[in-house]
Structure 1
Amino acid sequence: MFWLAQTPSAPAPPPPQEIVIPQTVRPLPGQLDAVPVFNSNSPEIIGAEGILLSTFPSQGKRHPEAHLDFGFEGRFDLFAHHVYKALTPENLTTAYLGVIVYNPGTRPVTINTLQAASYLSQPDAPFISLPPFVDNPLGEVYAGPGSRAMSDVLRGRRQAIFPPQLIVPPGSYQMLLNLPIPIAPLDPPINGRSTLMRLRSDGPVYLASLALFARQDAAGNEIAPTLEDWQTILETGNLVTPRDRPPTLLDNTAPTNQIIYGRVAGVGIGSRWQAQVTDQPTSAELTIPDPGSAFSYGLSTLARGRLGSDQSQTAPLRVRYPDTAYEAHGNYGIQYDLSLPLHNPTNQPRTVTIALQTPIKEDTLSRNGLRFFEPLPPQTFFRGTVRVRYTDDQGLPQTRYVHLVQRRGQQGEPLATLQMPAGDRRLVEFSFLYPPDSTPPQVLTVSTLEE
Structure 2
Amino acid sequence: MEQAYAYVPLMAGQGARALNGTFNNVPVLHSNQPEIVKGPGILVNTTPGSATAAENNQPLRNAEFTFNGEFGIHMHHKYYPQDSSKLGGRRARGLLTVAAIAINPGNNPVTLKFKRGSVKNSFEAPYHPNRLMGVKPLGRRPWNTGPGDATAVQMLRGELDRKLPREITIPARSRKVIVSSVLPARGIMNGLLRGRSDGPFQLAVVAAEETNQEQELIAVLDSKRLAPGRIYLNRLNEIRTGKVFSRVAGVALGDEYKASINHDLSQGALHIPLTSTRKHHFGTRDIQVNQLSTRMIDSALNNVGTYGVRFDVEMNLSGGGAHELVLSHPVASGRKPFTAFRGSIGIKSAEGYREVHVGMKSGQSLPLGQINTQANVVNPVTVSVVYPADATPGHLLSVVPVTQLALLRRREEMLEAARKAEEAAKKRKVVPPTPPPAINAKPKPLQANENKPRPQATPQPRPTPRTYPKRAPRIAPPAVAAPSSGTNQYPPAMIMPQRVNDSLEQRYRDAIKAQQDWLRRLQGR
Q: TM-score, normalised by structure 1?
A: 0.79
More helix by share: 2
Taking the TM superposition and a 5 Å limit, the aligned residue runs for 1:11-410 are 21-58=12-49, 65-91=60-86, 92-129=93-130, 130-140=132-142, 142-183=144-185, 190-215=186-211, 224=212, 226-245=213-232, 246=235, 249=238, 252=241, 259-278=243-262, 286-290=263-267, 293-344=268-319, 349-360=320-331, 378-392=337-351, 398-410=352-364
State the SS of the aligned residue for 1:276. Answer: strand
Distance in 1 between residues matched to 2:151 and 2:217, nearest whole Å: 25
Kindly provide the amino acid, as one letter, of the partner of residue 233 in structure 1: V
Kindly provide the amino acid, as one letter, of the partner of residue 383 in structure 1: R
Kindly provide the amino acid, as one letter, of the partner of residue 446 in structure 1: V
CA-CA distance at 1:236 after TM superposition: 2.0
Kindly indicate whether the alpha-carbon contact (under 8 Å) linking 1:119 and 1:195 is maintained by their aligned counterparts in 2.
yes
State the SS of the aligned residue for 2:326. Answer: strand
Listed as ranges, the gaps of 5+ residues in structure 1 are: 1-15, 184-189, 216-223, 254-258, 279-285, 363-372, 393-397
Kindly indicate whether the alpha-carbon contact (under 8 Å) linking 1:125 and 1:148 is maintained by their aligned counterparts in 2.
no
State the SS of the aligned residue for 1:228. Answer: helix
CA-CA distance at 1:60 after TM superposition: 11
- 2:479 maps to none
State the SS of the aligned residue for 1:90. Answer: helix
Kindly indicate whether the alpha-carbon contact (under 8 Å) linking 2:239 and 2:301 is maintained by their aligned counterparts in 1.
yes
State the SS of the aligned residue for 1:73. Answer: coil
Structure with the bigger RCO (C-alpha within 8 Å, sep 6+) is 1
Distance in 2 between residues matched to 1:247 and 1:399, nearest whole Å: 45
State the SS of the aligned residue for 2:68. Answer: strand
Distance in 2 between residues matched to 1:74 and 1:399, nearest whole Å: 31
How many correspondences in the alignment? 385
CA-CA distance at 1:351 after TM superposition: 1.9
Distance in 1 between residues matched to 2:37 and 2:246, nearest whole Å: 16
Kindly indicate whether the alpha-carbon contact (under 8 Å) linking 2:39 and 2:81 is maintained by their aligned counterparts in 1.
no
CA-CA distance at 1:58 after TM superposition: 1.3
- Measured against aligned partners, the alpha-carbon deviations of 1:25-65 in whole angstroms (never above 9, x if no partner) come to 22113211111110000101111211101001118999863
Kindly indicate whether the alpha-carbon contact (under 8 Å) linking 1:44 and 1:244 is maintained by their aligned counterparts in 2.
no
Kindly provide the amino acid, as one letter, of the partner of residue 118 in structure 2: A
More strand by share: 1
State the SS of the aligned residue for 1:354. Answer: strand
Change (3 A) 1:72 1:139: same
Distance in 2 between residues matched to 1:208 and 1:275, nearest whole Å: 32
Change (3 A) 1:26 1:227: same
Kindly indicate whether the alpha-carbon contact (under 8 Å) linking 2:273 and 2:395 is maintained by their aligned counterparts in 1.
yes
Larger radius of gyration between Structure 1 and Structure 2: 2
Distance in 1 between residues matched to 2:197 and 2:157, nearest whole Å: 22
Kindly indicate whether the alpha-carbon contact (under 8 Å) linking 1:58 and 1:64 is maintained by their aligned counterparts in 2.
no
Listed as ranges, the gaps of 5+ residues in structure 2 are: 1-6, 87-92, 404-521
- 1:10 maps to none
Q: TM-score, normalised by structure 2?
A: 0.69
- What is the CA RMSD across the aligned residues, in angstroms? 2.6
Change (3 A) 1:66 1:227: farther
CA-CA distance at 1:294 after TM superposition: 1.8
- Measured against aligned partners, the alpha-carbon deviations of 1:139-181 in whole angstroms (never above 9, x if no partner) come to 4264211011101110111111101001111111110123210
Kindly indicate whether the alpha-carbon contact (under 8 Å) linking 1:115 and 1:199 is maintained by their aligned counterparts in 2.
yes
Kindly indicate whether the alpha-carbon contact (under 8 Å) linking 1:389 and 1:399 is maintained by their aligned counterparts in 2.
yes
